Every structure is written in C-alpha cells, then in structure tokens.
Chains A and B, each alone.
Chain A
Amino acid sequence: MASSSHARSQTRRQLLSRIGMVAGSAALYQAMTSMGHAMGTDFSGPPKLSGAKKGTSVLVLGAGLAGMLSAYELRKAGYIVKIIEFQSRSGGRNISLRGGDTVTELGGATQKVGFAPGNYINPGPWRIPYHHQGLLHYCRAFGVQLEPFIELNHNSWLHSTGSFGGKAIRYRELAADFNGFTAELLAKAVNQHKLDDLVSPDEVAHLKDAMRGWGALTPELAYIKGNISSLRRGFEKAQGGGLNGAPVPSELMNRNEIWKSGLWNWMAFHERLDMQTTMFQPVGGMDNIGKAFTKQIRDLLQLNCKVTAIHQDNAGVTVTYNDMQHGGAVRQAKADYCVCTIPLSILSQLDVQVSDGMKAAIGAVPYASSVKLGLEFKRRFWEEDDQIYGGISFTDQPISQVSYPSHGIFSKGPAVLLGGYMFGPAAYDFAGMTPQERLEEGIKQGLAFHPQYRKEFLNGVSFAWSRVPWTLGCCSMWSEEARKTHYKTLCSIDQRIVLAGEHASYVGCWQEGAILSALDAVTRLHQRALGAA
C-alpha cells in the first residue's frame, strides 16, 4: 500500500490545506467574510479583464468547461479568440447520455443508449457542492437552471456482504445505532470515572448531556430498544392512528458488528466538505452546463480537430491538427498565445514545444479509471416499494453504490438510476469487461438489495473512462511527489502557452477545478500579454 490514513483525519487535513490556500489572500477573504460573502472555494468573483492590445490573438485547445470559459473571458477582454476541439461536440467531460445517443469506446465496443425520452445519465460529473461558487456563478450568469441533488438519504441501503448476514440495512438504522452506542460508551466511561485524566469535573455534566441528546440515550444514559432509539432508527411497527396506532420499537443491531462492518465509512462520506448538503444538479442533465457555455462562444468554436503538435517561437504559437471533417487534412492554426486544456493523458503524447520542466510536468500526472452504469427500469420501484427518494445506497461489492434520480420523483414510467460508480480496482475490472458483461455484473450485484432488478430492468449503458478516446481516464491523479515537483511548473506560463483544466488545480476531478484553473490561467496570460508579468 502506498500509504494509509484514517478517513476522519484526511477530511481534517484537507480542510486545513484548503484554509492554507485561502490564507494567501487572507485580507480579501477576511473582508469578504465580514461582509458575509465568503465563498467555499477560493473563487472571489469573475475576473474583470480588459484592455487587450488590439489584434492580439489566443488559440484555445479543447472545448470543455476550462477551454470555453477561457475563450469567453479572453474575448471579453478584447482578444481575438478561436477554440479547436477534437470531438464533434463541445462540453468535454461535462456530458449526459440520452436515448438515441451512441457510445463508442476504445477497443471498438459501441453502445446505443435506449433510454425513454426525458431520461438521462451523467457519466461524468453529476453533482455540484454548494461551495463551488465559481461554477455556480457561471451557471447563474449563463442561465443554467439548477435543482437540488439529493446526496444523503436516511432511508437508503447500506450493504456489506460479510456483515449482518449479508442483509442490507437502512442508513438511519446504522446512523442511529452507531451514534447511540458511541454516545453510550462515552457517557458510561465518564460516569465510571474512566476518563478522569482527560475530562475535567465541570466538563463531565455537559458531556453527559451532550451524549444523551446526540445519541438518543435514556435518562440513565443507556442506548436500548425503546421509543427513544426507535424515533431515530425507525420502529418495528410504525406509529399509526386510532385504536391500534401504538408503535412497536425495533431491535438494535449488534454493537460489535457495527464497528466491524465498516459501514460507518459511508456515514463519514457524507460529512466530507465536498459532499455536504446542499448539492445541485442542472435540470435535465449535466450537459446543460456545457450547452450554456457553448452558447456564449459558439462562433469561436471549430469541432473535429485532432491536435498533433503545438509549437512556439518568439513570434507566436503554431498548432498542427488533422481536420477530421475533411479526411484528416493537416492544417495549422496560428496565434500570439495558446491556452491548452487538452487532458495531460493526451497532451503527454503530443509533440509539444515547451521547456523540459513543463514537459516533465505534463508527463507526471496519470489519469484515474472510473466506470459508471446507467440502468433504466420500468418503474421507480425504489420509490414505490422502498420509499427511497434520491440519495445513494452503498455496498462493498465492486459496483460500490446505487444512486437514485433526484429529479422526476413520484413520476410514472421508466426511470434511470446510477447502477454502479467504480473507481480504482473495481473500475479497472469493469472497464475490462464488454458492455454486456458490465450490465450483467451490475444487475447481479444490485440484486443484493434490490430484488426487483431482474423483473423491472429495461436497458442500460456503461461508460468506462479509461476507454474514452479523448481522455484515456476520468481525471488527473496527482501523487504527493508529483505535486511537489511539478505543479507550479505545470501552472506556469511557458513562453506563450498556458495550461488549464482540473489537472491544473487543487480541486481535481471536479468541474470547479476546471473553472478556477481557467480563470487563473487567463488572468495571468492577460498580464503577460500586456507586458506586466
């Protein structure tokens, strides 16, 4: 194992590193905080670039969010801008799949998406934390309609093949019992003077109060079967009305098995800053963000251009590409400057004329593997049978999770859920399967807590990011060593070329990283072009 760490301490260290990043602009941050305008990431408003030297041109490579935003801001500043893009669509990893779409992956497998009209899956980014204020700013500015994304659902399933007889339990049952037993142990330890070295006498009373309230303990500080605990974890027979309305409390789970199960990892997951409520999604599919960005720069955009070389000298930048709409004809585009948002996985294999340090940086960042499964079912059995409305069920099987649509709740007819979202080893495993095998595995594993799967299944699509021709992976995967050695170089302006994208940020794998990186890159490039830096 490369390293190990505890989930909780990671979150804290991540927080600290965030704080460290913000501290660079401490004065501004403090001022904004006092005005009540503090932002989650270090986005502090759109750049106000202006006064470009007349006739100065910038070529943007890649029409994902970073490329399109760079083009948008640079044109506003007065530059002559052009974007060239490999795909026959803009948006990059901001993508949604709908009925009629085709997915062709490396290796040749082609899938036709069979979803009913209105249904979709977001194979890439699918949720936006409330504090990703850069992305949210441009969503508002460009008229993208957002709706809440349900991340945490107390009624979703938690499943571990080796725990509780392999039977899935509800999130609320685990959360109630985990908190209850933890609180009880701590309260008892204090009561029995086992923590006298650690807890002062005047702290004891407050601590016991806190544990009783937090953990749903009895006045005697016990976490036991009864109405108090069942009001957290749910009743055996729910509260009703009339003659037989009295509830029956539910049994608690085995305490030792709770710790052992590891299921609490999924409680901790939702506590991460990145996953805290409120989260958002665009109405109708994540690609509505890409489409709204495209609207702003459509006249600058040339699709179907496969870049092969990026050269520069004192006079400017020359990019060589194959025009795929014209039989791959070799063409060149020239500009004074270049913002390159091509993923490093691709860029590291192109003929790029930059310093040795930049070359090493471009080659130092591998891309992670990830696979998503979108499964369409005849009806919303998770809602109708299980009262699960949005949110995520977790399992320790390779599919890792099943996530239910946050939109269209209570609607009739077919609906699409996320039937698996794999990273790491499970993603390698699934990416190596045929699309049919992936779906079959996803269904087989999902059956562990959704017995309706077979009967209700209509069709599905899988998206294996390591087999996507234009990224060869889902996102950048920095090692600590590479970050230390190469990050600053990667973000620096190499004569006339600057890189942008999630890979050039500390918010990697998030769209916010692409936004913040692009804003920083174009701001510095503008200063450079004006001769100020």
Chain B
Amino acid sequence: MRKFLLFAALMGVLVPVGWAHADSASAISGKMEDLPSGEAIYRHICQSCHMADGQGAVGAGAQIPALAHNPRLQVASYPATVILKGYGAMPWFAGLLNDKQIADVVDYIRTHFGNTYTDKLNPSEVALMRPHLTAEEQ
C-alpha cells in the first residue's frame, strides 16, 4: 500500500519523494532535506533509529543494532547492502538514496562511532548492488 511517488517535476527543487501510507496525512510527504554528505544523511535519516551516537537501542525483546564499534562494518558492501535492501524492520533505502549518497553514508558510519575503516566505497560498486524493490501502490 506504500509507494515512492515521483513528483520531481511538480514539487520543486529538493528531493521530492512522497511516501504514501494508508492512514497517512498525505500521499505526499514533506520535502526531504538536502543531503550533500554522509554526515547529513546520518543526521537526517539514520539517527532516527540508530540514535545520534550510533548506539542503537533495546526495545521489546528486540533491538535497533548499534553501529558504534560494530565489527560487521568491516566490509563496506555489508552496510551498503543492508541500506539498499533493508533488514528485518529496517526499510530499504534504494528508492530514497542515490549511489553516491549510499557510499557517503557508508563511509561516514565506517569512520565514526569508534569505527576506523578508512577504505572508501565507490558509488559505482553501489550501483551493482541495487536490488529491484518496489513499494506497493497506494
């Protein structure tokens, strides 16, 4: 019932992703912030769940994984795949973020929160990992 709507031509200059939900306010969500860097992407998207300090959180018998000191970040393609395809409760971001943005945010989390993996992810590698995922029509 959800869908990324493409209102690019209509809604102006910022990334005009609409995300429709059944009992949602609008078939169009508000404009997305400009996200020019890995840090901006982390602040405006990731920290909504993984928290500002990357520590994640523990809920009802379930958790939001910590990114801080996380050995699974060792290989850049792992976080890139999770971001592109989603994982469990985590939504996929293939529709929201472009290849460069995904590379940016992967580089950011792999070099912050106590992680020190300095090799960079190339956006062209992200392009090869892109899944075919379509939000349901709303």
CB pair A400 B21 closer than 8 Å: no
Q: A14-B137, A423-B21 are in contact. Are A366 and B90 (CB under 8 A)?
A: yes
Chain A interfacial residues counted at CB < 8 A: 86
Indicate if A191 sits at the interface (CB-CB under 8 A): no
Q: By the criterion CB–CB under 8 Å, are A428 and B48 in contact?
A: yes
Knowing A4-B5, A86-B60, A346-B62 are in contact, say whether A425-B26 is a contact too (CB < 8 A): no
Q: What count of chain B residues pass the 8 Å CB interface test?
A: 62
Known contacts: A366-B91, A398-B30, A510-B23. The answer to whether A481 contacts B59 by CB under 8 A is: no
Query: Is B36 an interface residue, CB under 8 A from the partner?
Result: no
Contact of A425 among B6, B11, B22, B96 (CB under 8 A): B96
B30 touches A346 (CB 8 A): no
Query: A288 interface residue, CB < 8 Å from B?
Result: no
Determine which of A268, A421, A467, A472 lies in contact with B62 in the assembled complex, contact meaning CB atoms within 8 Å: A472
Can you give 24 A-B contacts (C-beta < 8 A)? A1-B6, A3-B3, A3-B134, A5-B137, A7-B5, A7-B27, A10-B137, A14-B137, A86-B60, A262-B10, A265-B26, A346-B59, A348-B89, A350-B61, A392-B25, A400-B30, A422-B29, A423-B24, A428-B48, A430-B48, A432-B47, A466-B49, A479-B134, A509-B2
* Residue from A161, A307, A475, A483 within 8 A of B21 (CB atoms): A475
Cα of A345 to Cα of B88 in the assembled complex, Å: 6
In the bound complex, do residue A479 and residue B136 qualify as a contact, i.e. CB atoms below 8 Å apart? yes
Distance in angstroms from B30 CB to nearest chain A CB is: 4
B3–A421 contact, CB under 8 A?
no
If A346-B59, A398-B31 touch, does A423 touch B138 (CB 8 Å cutoff)?
Answer: no
Q: Considering the chains assembled together, what is the distance between the CA atoms of A184 and B84 in angstroms?
A: 46
**Given A397-B31, A398-B30, A427-B29, A481:B62 Cβ within 8 A:** no
A345 touches B4 (CB 8 A): no
Binds B, one of A110-118, A226-234, A367-375: A367-375
Report B7-50 CB contacts with A as 1/0, cut-off 8 Å: 10011110101111111111111111100000000011111110
User: Are B47 and A472 neighbours in the complex by a CB distance under 8 Å?
Assistant: no
Given contacts A3-B4, A423-B25, A479-B92, contact A396 B48 (CB under 8 A): no
**CB contact between A2 and one of B20, B61, B90, B135 (< 8 Å): that residue:** B135
A147-B59 Cα distance, complex, nearest whole Å: 35
Task: Point out the residues of chain B lying under 8 angstroms from A127, CB to CB.
Answer: 23
Q: List A contacts of B7 (CB < 8 A).
A: 262, 265
**Docked complex Cα distance between A397 and B90 (Å):** 25
Q: Dominant SS at the B interface? A: loop
Q: Is A337 an interface residue (CB 8 A)?
A: no
B132: interface (CB < 8 Å): yes
Given A5-B3, A464-B48, is A370 in contact with B24 using a C-beta cutoff of 8 Å? yes
Q: How far is the CB of B45 from chain A (nearest CB, A)?
A: 4
Whether B25 pairs with A431 at a CB distance below 8 angstroms is no
Q: A106-B57, A349-B89, A370-B21 are in contact. List 6 more A-B contacts (CB 8 A).
A: A10-B5, A260-B10, A368-B21, A396-B28, A425-B15, A472-B89
The 4 closest A-B pairs by CB, nearest first: A424-B19, A2-B95, A4-B6, A345-B89
Q: Are A423 and B29 touching (Cβ within 8 A)? A: yes
The distance in angstroms between the C-alpha atoms of A400 and B60, with both chains bound, is 30
Q: Hey, which chain B residues are within 8 Å of A13, CB to CB?
A: 137
Tell me how far the C-beta of A108 lies from the nearest C-beta in chain B, rounded to whole angstroms: 8
In the bound assembly, the distance between CA atoms of A41 and B17 in angstroms comes to 29
Shortest Cβ distance from B130 into A: residue: A2
Partner of B48, one of A162, A423, A466, A469: A466
Docked Cα-Cα span, A466 to B91, in Å, equals 11
Q: What B residues does A348 contact at CB under 8 A? A: 62, 88-89
Which of A107, A510, A513 lies in contact with B57, CB distance below 8 A? A107
Please give the distance in Å from A365's CB to the nearest CB on chain B: 8
Q: List, in ascending order, chain A residues with CB within 8 A of B46's CB.
A: 428, 432
- Residues A396 and B23 in contact, CB atoms below 8 Å apart: no
